[in-house]
Amino acid sequence: MVKYVAEPFKIKMVEPLKMTTREEREEKLKAANYNVFGLDSDDVYIDCLTDSGTGAMSDTQWAGMMAGDESYAGARGYRKLMKAVKDIFGYEFGQPVHQGRAAEQVLLPSYLKKGQKCVSNMHFDTTRGHVGLLGAKAIDIVVPEAKDTSTYLPFKGNMDTKRLEAYINEVGADQIGVIIMTITNNSAGGQPVSMENLRTTKAIADKHGIPMIIDAARYAENAHFIREREEGYQDKEIIDIVREMFSYAEAFTMSAKKDAIVNMGGLIGVKDSEELYIKVKGLTIPYEGFVTYGGLAGRDLEALSIGLYEGLDKDYLKYRVGQIEYLGGRLKELGVPFQYPVGGHAVFLDAKALLPHIPYYQFPGQALACELYLEAGIRACDIGSYLLDLDPETGEQLESEMEFTRLAIPRRVYTQAHFDVIAEALKNIKERASEIKGYEITWQAPVLRHFTAKLKPIE
C-alpha cells in the first residue's frame, strides 16, 4: 500500500465543483471537438491540464494581497521582493515581470545573437520560442536515460556533460551564447537535476568561457529531490540547497506560477553584474512596465514575495512531491504504465504502452486524455504526436518518440480522494483499453495546433 503524505494545512475556503454524468460529458466533449482545451472548466471535475498558475494561495498570501501597495514607482512590495531575492538566491539584483516567458523575452537578448546556439539540458517550449525569435538555435543535451520510461535514475533531468563537452568542441565555444539549466527539467517530465550536475556543467561552462543561467520555475521541487536523493544533502535546509544551486549560475529566469505558488508572476535574478542588470531594466520598461512593478499589480508582488518562501517549506515539499508519488504508486499497483520515477509536478501516463493498438497518427495520448474526461471528468493533455505539428516541409504527421498523457498536479488544490478517483478511472480505462479508438484531425491551425484543432473519433 502506498502512503499518502497528509496535508500540512487545513482548508479555510472552498470552491465547489460540478458533478456531471457520463452522458453530459459525452455531449460536452463532442461540442469541444474532442479537444480538452475547448472544454469549459466548469464542466471539469479534476483539472490536471497544468500546474501553472493553478495553485491555491495561503491565508498569508491573501493577507499580503490586501496590504499590496499600488504605487507606480517604489512600491513597498518591490522592496520586499528584492530582499527575498537576495536572501533566498543570494543574488544582488531582481526584476519582477508578468510571467516566465516575459523573463525570457527580457533576459535572453543579453546572451544570444543571430546564428548562435543556446544549449540546455532541455528547453521549455517558450524558452525554445524566444531562442528562435532571436535567430538562435536551441540544442537539448539531456542524459539519454530521460527517454527511458521504466528505469529508475535519481536525476533523470541532468545535462549529459560528456556530450556537452563534445558539442562545445565540435561547434566552438564562441558559437554558444549561453547554457540554460532547466530545474526541474519540465520537458523531461519534471525530472530533477543533481547538484553535482549543476557543478560539473558550470565547470565546463567556465572552462570554455560560456555563461550559465537557470530556468528556475521548479527550483524548490528540485531542491527537495536533492535533499532526498543526493549524498550529503539529507541534513541541509532547503534554502541552503537553493543557495548552492543558484551559486552556479550568473542569472535566472523564473515563472513564479509554479513553485512560487502565485496565479500570475515572473522573476529575473542577476547575481552580481550591474552591467547585465542595467540591460535587464532597459528591456523591462518597454516590454513589462516600470522596474518596480514589471507588469504586476502591487498586490501580486506581495503574494510573490510570500510564495517564494512558502514554496521552500520542507513539510510542504514532502506533501507536494508526495502527492505525485502517491498517484504514481497507485498506478504501479494497478499496472497502469507511466514514466518512472514520477517527477515533481506531474505524472506522465504512457499512452503508447496502454493503447498499443492506436498508431501515432491516430494520437494515443489524445485518445487517453479524452477517455479520462469521459470516464470521470478529469482533464489531462497529450504530450505526444498530437502535440507535434505537421512537418513544415513535407506536410506529413511527425511521429513523437513518446506518446504521453500528462496529469499535471496543481499545488495545494486536490486531496487524496481526488487522486483515488484518478487511479480508479485509469483502472477502468485499462480494463477496456482495447476498445478505445484513435482520433483524426478535421481542422488544424498551421502552428501550435493542439490548442485549437478539431478532432473526431475514428469509427
Ligand X SMILES: *Cc1c(COP(=O)(O)O)cnc(C)c1O
Instruction: Answer for the pair 106, 126: CB distance below 8 angstroms, yes or no.
Output: no
Nearer to ligand X, 107 or 372 (CB): 107
Nearer to ligand X, 202 or 258 (CB): 258
**Which residue out of 217, 223, 369, 433 is catalytically annotated?**
217
For the bound state, the minimum distance from the C-beta of residue 155 to ligand X, rounded and expressed in Å, comes to 16
Angle between helices 314-334 and 219-229 (to 10 degrees): 80
For the bound state, the minimum distance from the C-beta of residue 305 to ligand X, rounded and expressed in Å, comes to 17
Nearer to ligand X, 95 or 182 (CB): 182
For the bound state, the minimum distance from the C-beta of residue 23 to ligand X, rounded and expressed in Å, comes to 35
Nearer to ligand X, 345 or 418 (CB): 345
Active site residue 450: yes
Nearer to ligand X, 20 or 222 (CB): 222
For the bound state, the minimum distance from the C-beta of residue 88 to ligand X, rounded and expressed in Å, comes to 18
For the bound state, the minimum distance from the C-beta of residue 139 to ligand X, rounded and expressed in Å, comes to 16
Question: Parallel, antiparallel, or unpaired: how do β-strands 378-379 and 381-383 relate?
Answer: unpaired
Query: For binding to ligand X (CB under 6 A), which residues are involved?
Result: 52, 99-101, 124, 126-127, 182, 186, 215, 217, 255, 257-258, 266
Residue type, 186: N
**Euclidean distance between CA atoms 233 and 243, whole angstroms:** 13
Active site residue 216: no
Active site residue 258: yes
Place of cell 524558452: 127
Nearer to ligand X, 266 or 341 (CB): 266
**Phi, psi (rounded to 5 degrees) for 71:** -65, 145
**Which residue out of 47, 215, 350, 382 is catalytically annotated?**
215
**Euclidean distance between CA atoms 124 and 349, whole angstroms:** 19
For the bound state, the minimum distance from the C-beta of residue 255 to ligand X, rounded and expressed in Å, comes to 3
Nearer to ligand X, 348 or 439 (CB): 348
**Which residue out of 40, 72, 206, 272 is catalytically annotated?**
72
Q: SS3 string of the chain? A: CCCCCCCCCCCCCCCCCCCCCHHHHHHHHHHCCCCHHHCCHHHCCEECCCCCCCCCCCHHHHHHHHCCCCCCCCCHHHHHHHHHHHHHHCCCEEEEECCHHHHHHHHHHHCCCCCCEEEECCCCHHHHHHHHHCCCEEEECECHHHHCCCCCCCCCCCECHHHHHHHHHHHCHHHEEEEEEECCEHHHCCECCCHHHHHHHHHHHHHCCCCEEEECCCHHHHHHHHHHHCCCCCCCCHHHHHHHHHHCCCEEEEECCCCCCCCCCEEEEECCCHHHHHHHHHHHHHHCCCCCCCCCCHHHHHHHHHHHHHCCCHHHHHHHHHHHHHHHHHHHHHCCCECCCCCCCEEEEEHHHHCCCCCHHHCHHHHHHHHHHHHHCEECEEECCCCCCECCCCCCECCCCCCEEEEECCCCCCCHHHHHHHHHHHHHHHHCHHHCCCEEEEECCCCCHHHCCEEEECC
Rg of the chain (C-alpha set) = 22
Three cell numbers, residue 284: 523591462
For the bound state, the minimum distance from the C-beta of residue 246 to ligand X, rounded and expressed in Å, comes to 15
C-alpha closest to that of 279 among 139, 127, 114, 112: 112
Nearer to ligand X, 61 or 397 (CB): 61
For the bound state, the minimum distance from the C-beta of residue 365 to ligand X, rounded and expressed in Å, comes to 19
Nearer to ligand X, 52 or 362 (CB): 52
For the bound state, the minimum distance from the C-beta of residue 424 to ligand X, rounded and expressed in Å, comes to 29
Longest Cα separation, the chain:
62
Active site residue 215: yes
Active site residue 124: yes
Active site residue 217: yes
**Which residue out of 251, 418, 450, 453 is catalytically annotated?**
450
**Which residue out of 125, 174, 206, 240 is catalytically annotated?**
125
**Which residue out of 98, 117, 156, 258 is catalytically annotated?**
258
Closest residue to ligand X: CB criterion: 100
Instruction: Give the residue numbers annotated as catalytic, written as ranges.
Output: 72, 124-125, 215, 217, 258, 450
